Amino acid sequence: MAFKKLLGALVAATMLTAPAFAAGYPERQITMVVPFSAGGPTDTVARLVAEKMSSDLGQQIVVENVGGAGGTLGAGQVAKAEADGYTVLLHHIGMATSATLYRNLAYDTLNAFEYVGLVTEVPMVVVARKDFEPADFNAFKDYVKANGDKLTLANAGIGAASHLCGMLLMQALETPLVTVPYKGTGPAMTDLLGGQTDIMCDQTTNTTQQIQGGTIKAYAVTTPERLPLFPDLPTAKESGLDSLEFAIWHGIYTPKGTPAEVNERLSKALQAALADGGVIKAMADLGTAPSPAEDATPAALKAKLEAEITRWKPVIDAAGTYAD
C-alpha cells in the first residue's frame, strides 16, 4: 500500500511539474545545432531565424555548427541531447534523405525527434563556371549529354543539397557526370568560381551573389514558376525536365521526449520570426521566402518529413550510391 501511495505521489508530481516547466520556458540560452559548416546556405537560414526567435523567446539562441557525415553528426548529437528544449536542430531536406543514404544511422530519423516547424523552402539553380560554353539551358542539356564523361559536377558532399540536386540532374538528363564531392559548400563553390569544376546545382541562398556578380553562369531554376529574383532564368520544367522540380526545405527539431508545450512555444517563436519584415526581405534577397504560419508547426513538419522519406527512397536506391 505504501508503495502504491508513493507511486501515485510521483505520478502526480510529474503531472504538476511538466506544465510548470513549460510555463517557465525558456529560462536560459538555447543552442541551435546546424549540421553543416558556418557560412553555408543552411547556416545562413539558421542565423536569420535564430536572431528573431531569440527576441520573441526573451533568451538568446546560439548557433553551433556541427558539420560532417552529410549532416548526420549534428543530427545525432541533438538526438542524444537532453529533452528539455535547450538544444534544437535546424536541418534541411537531408533529414529525409539520410534515412536511406545512411544504412547504419545511429538514430531512427522518424522516432528520435520531436517537431517544431518548417522554416523555408529554398529553390535550386543549375549553374556552371562563368566561361561554360552553352548559351542557354537547351544548349546546356545537349552539351552535357554529348560530353558527360568529360564534365565535372561539384557538390558539397554526400547528402548535401548540391549532391541531391546533382543526382536528380543526372537522372533527368540520363547522363552520368564525373562527380567531385567536397567537404562543404564553400570549397565546392570556390573551385567552381576558379574554373576547376564545370557544373554545380545549389541553393539560391548560396548562388545568388555569384550569379548577380557574373562570376558563375546560371542556366535554370528548379521551381514550378520562374523566380522574381531571376525572371530571365527558365524553369527546368519549361525545358522538359519535370523530375528536376524540387526545393530544399528546412525544419526545426528537438530531441525525442521534449514536452509538447515547449515545442509549441518554439513554434510560436518561429512563426513570429518568419512574419518579421526584416526576415522576409532578407530571404527575398536570397531568392526564397519564409514558410507560412500553418507550415511552421509540429504537425506540418512531421508530415513533410514522412512524405519526403517516402519520396527520396526510390530515387536514392535507383542511383545505388550510399554514404556507408
Task: Break the chain into its structural domains and give their ranges.
Answer: 27-122+248-319, 123-244
Same fold, 27-122+248-319 and 123-244: yes
In this predicted structure, what is the pLDDT of residue 8?
53
| Distance (Å, whole) CA 275 – CA 39 | 24
In this predicted structure, what is the pLDDT of residue 180?
96
Q: Which fold has domain 123-244?
A: D-Maltodextrin-Binding Protein; domain 2 (3.40.190)
**If you classify domain 27-122+248-319 with CATH, what class do you get?**
alpha beta
| Distance (Å, whole) CA 235 – CA 222 | 6
What does the pLDDT profile of the chain (324 residues) look like in tens digits?
A: 554 554 455 545 444 444 445 668 999 999 999 998 898 889 999 999 999 999 999 999 999 999 888 899 999 999 999 999 999 999 999 999 999 999 999 999 999 999 999 999 989 999 999 999 999 999 999 999 999 999 999 998 887 889 889 989 999 999 999 999 998 888 999 999 999 999 999 989 889 999 999 999 999 999 999 999 899 999 999 989 988 988 899 999 999 999 999 999 999 999 999 999 999 999 998 889 999 999 999 999 999 999 999 998 998 888 787 888
In this predicted structure, what is the pLDDT of residue 17?
45
In this predicted structure, what is the pLDDT of residue 5?
52
| Length of the chain in terms of residues written | 324
In this predicted structure, what is the pLDDT of residue 16?
46
Indicate the pTM of the whole model. Answer: 0.83
In this predicted structure, what is the pLDDT of residue 260?
97
